[in-house]
Amino acid sequence: MKKSILLVTLLAAMTSTAAFANNQVVNQGAQPQQQGFSGPTHGINTVKGVVEAGMFSDDTPVTLTGYLTSSLGGEHYTFTDGSGTMTVEIDHDKWFGLQATPNTKITIQGEIDKELNHTQIDVDHVRLAQ
């Protein structure tokens, strides 16, 4: 009786360990899914809207969809969305593995950075446009 209980327990442990290990192998090859909300946004969503936002718009959240047309050096780029062109700052850690060219349509999320002599977007996240 004790041997059969021990045998059943041992078989159950081996089966669950194999199933767990198999699940880990499958999950290692899976691509991570985008997290968070994906849907319509309210607020400023065009370069023209950013330019027209006024002097009290500093730190206002924005979501813009368009293209990076050129690198200005360092972490600064020229961004266009058809309504206008603006400088955006994208820190190296905000790319999240994405590689973009002037033909890659992207969506950037960030805040307006309004200074006395210029306005730009500080980007928090870059992703491929849907």
The confidence score (pLDDT) of residue 55 equals 79
The total of structural domains in the chain comes to 1
* Residue 105 maps to a domain: yes
Answer yes or no: is 81 within a domain.
yes
Identify the residue whose tokens are 């442990």.
Answer: 13
Is residue 88 within 8 Å of residue 97, measured between CB atoms? Answer: no
> From its phi and psi, is residue 73 left (phi > 0), alpha (psi between -120 and 50) or beta?
left
Residues 92-114: tens digit of each pLDDT: 999 989 999 999 999 999 999 99
Residue 5 lies in a domain: no
Considering the domain boundaries, does residue 8 fall inside one?
no
In a domain, residue 88? The reply is: yes
Domain range enclosing 59: 47-128
Location of structure tokens 């446009």: 129
- pLDDT per residue, tens digit, the chain (130 aa), is 555 554 445 445 554 444 444 443 434 444 455 556 665 566 799 999 998 988 788 999 999 999 999 999 999 999 999 999 999 999 999 998 999 999 999 999 999 999 888 899 999 999 999 8
